[in-house]
Structure 1
Amino acid sequence: MKIWNTYTGHGGGYLVEVLRRLGIAHVFSVPGAQILSIWDALGNGPHPELIVPAGEWKGA
């Protein structure tokens, strides 16, 4: 799976594109400023679906 020489977006978008190509359907995450680019990229397509638990302790 080579996309690094064709992808022109930001790092979060690159990660989400790799997850899509691997067939990942769900991503579990809690809010944080360090991952906003990933959240933005997850909102741009149907998969993977972002699942946000009510708190860190419930997402474990």
Structure 2
Amino acid sequence: MDGLYSCCFLLFFAFYFFFFFMEFLLFSVLSAGIRLARQGKKTREAIIQGYGWERLGKGLI
């Protein structure tokens, strides 16, 4: 029974860490894309990061 509890705890901890890591990654990419778009660089990367990731972030949050 102790093995079952430790397995569930490890699974929960891994999911928790993965969720916060993805949230931090999405926020950092989103802020970098907005910063690129505000500088006026109309490159393909700025458009993809600034608008594509923003749309994805609005869908997730």
Settle same-fold status: TM greater than 0.5.
Answer: no
| Structure with greater strand share of residues | 1
The structure having more radius of gyration, on CA atoms, is: 2
TM-score, scaled to structure 1: 0.27
Q: Which has the higher contact order (CA 8 A, sep 6+)?
A: 1
TM-score, scaled to structure 2: 0.26
